[in-house]
Structure 1
Amino acid sequence: MKTRISSVLILTFIFCSTAFAQVLVGPVAGANFSWTSFSDKDLKDEYNVSPVFGYHVGGHLAFKVRKRFFLHTSLIYSTKGKNLKSEAGDLSLKLRYKYIEMPIVYTAYFKGHIGEKEFKYSLGVGPNISYWLGGKGTFENADTHEFHNGPSGVIPVDIVFGKDPGSATENEMVIQRPNRVQFGLNFTAGFLFEPVRYREVVLTLRYELGHSYLSRESDGVFSPTFPSFSESQKIRNQGFRISLAYLIDLKVEERKRGKSTIDRKRPK
């Protein structure tokens, strides 16, 4: 059901964009600062979660809805994650997640001035739709030091979906029933500059508040060799993102063609 909703939203914005007076498109990229939050208060007391840096890159689309209101959306590849440590200091789990995401933000623009230079600043809000591709990281606790055959107790791990947890290998964290389509809420603030006519540079700071758990039904399970730890997936992504987009007005040529036709038909 969630996959169908996501597909409908994507198609709606693609096809409806042609009906608006101003449509802008271009690349977007930037940096992420993300972490996860437990739903269980006891786990919050037992573990410390610290943020990690990541990045995102993709394409951006914006179209004018009303005089000062725009709808912004992107299709991006992004990395998120967290560093988790036990309060006792005997466990460390560092994970980096991979996502395909589509943030959708309804944005209002306001004019500002620096001397004689004019710029626009914005505030926005809207949903975030994410598809979880997987991830990897490292794991270390007392069991890894006792049973791992390598030179240290730190082992690399890959996140694996849908596998029987009992068959997890030493380098896998298995999530049997993941929630791969996830939803969140975006709050944004930004600045818009026009270096040349019909070109825009948009700088955006976004806070993402995750709504969906990574899984309601499954923990992250490691090899039976390490039976003392499984990671609760009743956790949500959170984080900040700074993005820079370079946008081109797609309907400039239509306006130019219309103007040329009028000029040719004007009587002398």
Structure 2
Amino acid sequence: MKRLLLIAIIACFFSSTAFAQVSFGPKVGANFSKYGYSFKESSDEPEVTFRFGQSVGAVLNLQITSFLAFQPSANISVKGVAHNVNSWNSGQAVYTGYDRVRITYFETPLNLALGIRLGQGQIQVFAGPYLAVAIIGVERWDYEENVNGIREVDKDNKRVKFRNTVSEEDHGDEDVAFYQKPFDYGVNFGLGYKYKHLLFNAGFAMGLANLQPDMSGVEFDPKDYKYSNRTIFITAAWLFGGE
């Protein structure tokens, strides 16, 4: 009986999607992202702020019913984190400057959207998972150290390298700023507005993956230094096809 019920549900889904209105088109957007930290010792967690990044890709709008749509997309999305030091006194020197991390991902959000007609358009509430893989990353910094009026500048940029496990050989690579896991996943949710061929979305993406890699050759537990992506995003898409 349960098997028949499951088959009936699947059949209803595919029969509804067979008659669904399908539209698709390009999508652009902006990200405001940072890392969310959950260290074993909370006092070790750095104070960071959101940094700006862009996203570009394509979205599919599969209108299953008048109020329900499946909206998968494929994006190139820039995330990262910002750290600003306005004036920090170590007791021996005063430090000022900034640090920026920029990670570019290939990302696939898979959202379901519930819509209610509002005026000539439709306001939507959407939610769903996302999967992402890091393509390239870089960290750049510019700090000034002031010791009794003598100033020294530390300014550079180095690449971020992606590893699930950092080997002993990797530890000595001076061209790498730091290591991070390549795969990310999490959940999206937010609000949207669809008007004719235009689709606007604003939401929050909460990463669930611990981006801290394991390290061989040393006593290290990635769970003690967990960090994940946190992103506020806005997007706009132009849809072709459909009604």
* Percent identical residues: 23
Please list every run of 5 or more consecutive structure 1 residues that lacks an aligned counterpart in the other structure: 1-14, 146-150, 195-199, 220-231, 253-268
Partner of residue 193, structure 1: 195
Partner of residue 239, structure 1: 231
What secondary structure does 1:50 align onto?
Answer: coil
Higher helix share: 1
Deviates more, 1:72-81 or 1:61-70: 61-70
Please list every run of 5 or more consecutive structure 2 residues that lacks an aligned counterpart in the other structure: 1-13, 90-94, 147-151, 217-223
Residue 84 of structure 1 and its aligned partner are, at CA, apart by: 2.6
Residue 47 of structure 1 and its aligned partner are, at CA, apart by: 2.1
What secondary structure does 1:39 align onto?
Answer: strand
Call closer, same or farther: CA 1:138–1:46 in 2, change over 3 Å: same
Q: How does 1:69-218 map to 2 (within 5 A)?
A: 69-84=68-83, 88=88, 90=95, 92-113=98-119, 118-139=120-141, 152-162=153-163, 164-169=169-174, 171-175=175-179, 178-194=180-196, 200-218=197-215
User: Over the residues paired in the alignment, what is the CA RMSD in angstroms?
Assistant: 3.1
What amino acid maps onto 1:166 in structure 2? H
What amino acid maps onto 2:198 in structure 1? V
Call closer, same or farther: CA 1:48–1:157 in 2, change over 3 Å: same
What amino acid maps onto 2:41 in structure 1? D
State the distance in 1 between where 2:46 and 2:18 align.
Answer: 51
Cα shift readout 1:144-189 (whole Å, capped 9, x = no counterpart): 99xxxxx8311111112347333312x42242xx432211110120
State the distance in 1 between where 2:241 and 2:15 align.
Answer: 16
TM-score between the two structures when normalised by the length of structure 1: 0.68
State the distance in 2 between where 1:16 and 1:240 align.
Answer: 36
Q: How does 1:58-73 map to 2 (within 5 A)?
A: 58-73=57-72
| Matched-pair contact (CA < 8 Å) for 2:31–2:52 | yes
Number of aligned pairs? 207
| Matched-pair contact (CA < 8 Å) for 2:77–2:105 | yes
| Matched-pair contact (CA < 8 Å) for 2:39–2:45 | no
Residue 44 of structure 1 and its aligned partner are, at CA, apart by: 5.5
Residue 42 of structure 1 and its aligned partner are, at CA, apart by: 3.4
TM-score between the two structures when normalised by the length of structure 2: 0.74
What amino acid maps onto 2:75 in structure 1? I
Higher strand share: 2
Partner of residue 8, structure 2: none
| Matched-pair contact (CA < 8 Å) for 2:143–2:153 | no
